[in-house]
Amino acid sequence: AQSVTQPDIHITVSEGASLELRCNYSYGATPYLFWYVQSPGQGLQLLLKYFSGDTLVQGIKGFEAEFKRSQSSFNLRKPSVHWSDAAEYFCAVAPFGNEKLTFGTGTRLTIIP
Amino acid sequence: NAGVTQTPKFQVLKTGQSMTLQCAQDMNHEYMSWYRQDPGMGLRLIHYSVGAGITDQGEVPNGYNVSRSTTEDFPLRLLSAAPSQTSVYFCASTPTGRNYEQYFGPGTRLTVT
C-alpha cells in the first residue's frame, strides 16, 4: 500500500522568504502526486498535481513542486511567501488508475512579519 | 454553482445516538468520498462512491454507513456514535474525466460525548 510522509509538523517562515515543504512517498511505481492547502476552518483546495512528464509542476498561488523519482520526493516550493499563505499543507498520493487518495499528516505553516 | 455543501457545520452527540451528515454537490460529479480529519493523522478515507448506486469502503469504514441514491447527494450515517468518532468530517467530489481533482466541502465538526 502507498504511504506519504511529511516530516515537518510545523514550519515558521518570515514573510517574503522562500519556502520548501517536504513530502516523501512510498509506492511500487510512480504514483499520482498532489499538494492540497487547508486554510483555517476551511476545506482542502488543490494546489497542484503531478501525473507524468515534466517533473517540475506549477500550481496556483505561485506554488511549484518538483518530483524526484530517485528520492521518492515531491517537495512544494514558493520563492516568496505572503502572510495569506499561512495554512496547513497536505501532500497526497494515488496509485495509477485509482482515485483513492492517501494523505500525509500535514505541515502547518506560520508566517511571521 | 454552490460546489460541495455540507450540513451541519457543528454537531454534538451523546454516545449511542445516531445522525446523518449531509453532503451535496451541484457539479454533476460522479465520484464522491467522505474523509475524517484527526490531529496528527491527516485525512483518512471512510467511504467513497463512483456513481449513483455504487459505494465502497475506504480505510476507516467501521461505524459508518453510506448510500448514493442520486448523483448529487452522498450522506454519511453514524448508527451509534462513539467518542472515537469525534472528528472533522469532509466530503469531496471529483469531476468526471479529471480524476483526483477533488473538491472539498467546508467540513462538519462532530463531538461525541
Average pLDDT over residues B74-92: 96
* Whether residue A97 has pLDDT greater than 80: no
Phi, psi for B18 (deg, rounded to 5) = -115, 155
* Whether residue A95 has pLDDT greater than 90: no
Average pLDDT over residues B2-30: 95
Confidence of residue A25 (pLDDT cuts 50, 70, 90): very high
State the Cα angle at A103 between A99 and A108, rounded to 5°.
145
Please report residues of A whose CB lies closer than 8 A to that of B47.
none
Radius of gyration over alpha carbons of chain A, in Å? Answer: 13
CA atoms within 13 A on the CB side of B75: 12
Which tens digit of pLDDT belongs to each residue from A28-76? Answer: 777 889 999 999 888 899 999 998 888 999 999 999 999 999 999 999 9
- Placement of cell 515537518 in the chain: A8
Cβ–Cβ < 8 Å for A106, B45? no
* Mutate which: A2, A91, A100, A107, vs B, most B CBs within 10 A: A100
Q: Which of A80-84, A98-102, B39-43, B104-108 has the lowest mean pLDDT?
A: A98-102
